[in-house]
């Protein structure tokens, strides 16, 4: 019997709190996240080797099957040779390794400083980028190749180290390199932590409460603008009445036309803001 009485008292207290707070849940009523109608779903984990995480948007180089393989493009003997011989030296009759080598050389050609440049940091980043993008396509076809995934992760970490060094050393060249290689530099957080439901719900609850506060502030601002419009409209009428009475009795006018124009302009501005 006592427990039933206590439950009734608690229910009546909570109903009074809801009424006192204008229909909103009081602090004592909202005991769970469900009371705020907040739904949390665990974000999809993106692998570290995925292009969305590495920032690879694809280097703009074109390699066709009819292109001549690496180191044979400027051969005079090949230029004077028969069409069948030229076709045999094309990528269409070569292995995938030759296709990858030519693509890497063209990517390096976008950033190298001179013809014989093979050791600058820009060339090394370009060569690693070409290899990374080739392996990313390979992983899409062979997702269970763990050894290749580990090697790809090592290449990505190595390129991050080079990019961070170039960013500190020469920021203008760093931006130019990102533009040439079509990369996005994604800096990792200093203290990465796991995604937990508790911290995420805290942030969602904070965003929900901030949204309610902002809605009330916007409504209050709109109400103030409406009151300002009424005030300035009444001010225009009062100023016109005072000006007419002063002219009627031949007194020196205390209201100027500038004051009237300023009040009318303020009414127009407030009307446009409310609309």
Instruction: Find the mean pLDDT for residues 124-136.
Output: 94
Both 82 and 126 in one domain: the answer is: yes
Q: Which of 126, 123, 128, 181 shows the shortest CA–CA distance to 158?
A: 128
What is the pLDDT at residue 152? 95
Spatial contact of 246 and 252, defined as CB atoms under 8 Å apart: yes
Instruction: Find the mean pLDDT for residues 156-177.
Output: 94
pLDDT of 98 higher than 90: no
- 7 in a domain, yes or no? no
Spatial contact of 55 and 186, defined as CB atoms under 8 Å apart: yes
- 24 in a domain, yes or no? no
170-208 pLDDT per residue, tens: 999 999 999 999 999 987 666 566 778 888 888 888 888
Both 90 and 202 in one domain: the answer is: no
CA distances from 52 to 45, 55, 56, 144, 245 (A): 11, 6, 7, 20, 75
What is the pLDDT at residue 2? 54
Q: Which two tokens stand for residue 205?
A: 């609850």
- 163 in a domain, yes or no? yes
Both 62 and 169 in one domain: the answer is: yes
Both 76 and 157 in one domain: the answer is: yes
Spatial contact of 91 and 98, defined as CB atoms under 8 Å apart: yes
- 18 in a domain, yes or no? no
Identify the band that residue 8 occupies on the pLDDT scale cut at 50, 70 and 90. low
Both 222 and 149 in one domain: the answer is: no
Measure the CA–CA gap between 270 and 275, rounded to whole angstroms. 9
- 125 in a domain, yes or no? yes
Q: Which of 71, 159, 156, 70 shows the shortest CA–CA distance to 122?
A: 159
> What is the reported pTM?
0.57
Domain final position from 127, 148, 181: 181
| Residue 185 three-state SS | coil
* Mean per-residue pLDDT over the chain, rounded: 83
- Count CB neighbours of 271 within 10 A: 13
Instruction: Find the mean pLDDT for residues 252-270.
Output: 85
Spatial contact of 188 and 159, defined as CB atoms under 8 Å apart: no
What is the pLDDT at residue 21? 40
Domain final position from 149, 181, 213: 181
pLDDT of 10 higher than 80: no
Instruction: Find the mean pLDDT for residues 111-129.
Output: 93
What is the pLDDT at residue 186? 85
Both 61 and 175 in one domain: the answer is: yes
- 12 in a domain, yes or no? no
Identify the band that residue 25 occupies on the pLDDT scale cut at 50, 70 and 90. very low
Instruction: Find the mean pLDDT for residues 126-144.
Output: 93
Instruction: Find the mean pLDDT for residues 144-166.
Output: 94
Both 201 and 125 in one domain: the answer is: no
Which domain range does residue 264 map to? 197-273
Both 166 and 216 in one domain: the answer is: no
Residue partners of 181: CB distance under 8 A and separation at least 6: 59, 107, 110, 111, 125, 126, 129
Which range among 72-86, 187-201, 210-224 shows the weakest confidence by mean pLDDT? 187-201
Both 171 and 215 in one domain: the answer is: no
Both 76 and 152 in one domain: the answer is: yes
- 80 in a domain, yes or no? yes
Both 137 and 208 in one domain: the answer is: no
pLDDT of 26 higher than 60: no
- 121 in a domain, yes or no? yes
CATH number at residue 98: 1.10.287.10
Domain final position from 147, 181, 215: 181
What domain count does the chain have?
A: 2
């Amino acid at each position: 019997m006592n427990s039933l009485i206590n439950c009734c008292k608690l229910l009546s207290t909570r109903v009074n709190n809801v009424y006192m707070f204008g229909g909103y849940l009081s602090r004592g009523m909202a005991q769970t996240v469900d009371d705020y109608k907040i739904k949390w779903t665990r974000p999809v984990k993106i692998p570290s080797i995925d292009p969305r995480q590495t920032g690879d948007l694809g280097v703009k180089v074109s390699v066709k099957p009819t292109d001549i393989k690496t180191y044979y493009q400027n051969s005079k003997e090949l230029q004077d040779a028969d069409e069948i011989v030229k076709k045999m030296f094309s990528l269409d009759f070569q292995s995938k390794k030759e296709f990858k080598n030519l693509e890497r050389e063209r990517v390096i050609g976008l950033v190298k400083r001179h013809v014989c440049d093979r050791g600058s940091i820009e060339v090394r980043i370009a060569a690693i980028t070409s290899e990374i993008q080739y392996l990313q396509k390979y992983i899409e076809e062979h997702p269970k190749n763990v050894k290749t995934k580990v090697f790809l992760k090592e290449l990505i970490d190595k390129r991050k180290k080079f990019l961070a060094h170039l960013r500190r050393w020469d920021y203008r060249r760093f931006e130019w390199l990102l533009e040439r290689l079509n990369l996005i530099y994604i800096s990792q957080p200093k203290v990465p932590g796991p995604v937990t439901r508790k911290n995420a719900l805290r942030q969602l609850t904070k965003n929900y409460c901030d949204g309610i506060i902002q809605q009330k502030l916007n409504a209050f601002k709109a109400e103030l603008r409406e009151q300002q419009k009424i005030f300035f409209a009444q001010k225009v009428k009062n100023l016109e009445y005072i000006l007419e009475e002063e002219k009627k009795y031949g007194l020196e006018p205390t209201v100027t036309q500038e004051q009237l124009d300023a009040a009318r302009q303020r009414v127009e501005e407030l009307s446009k803001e409310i609309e």
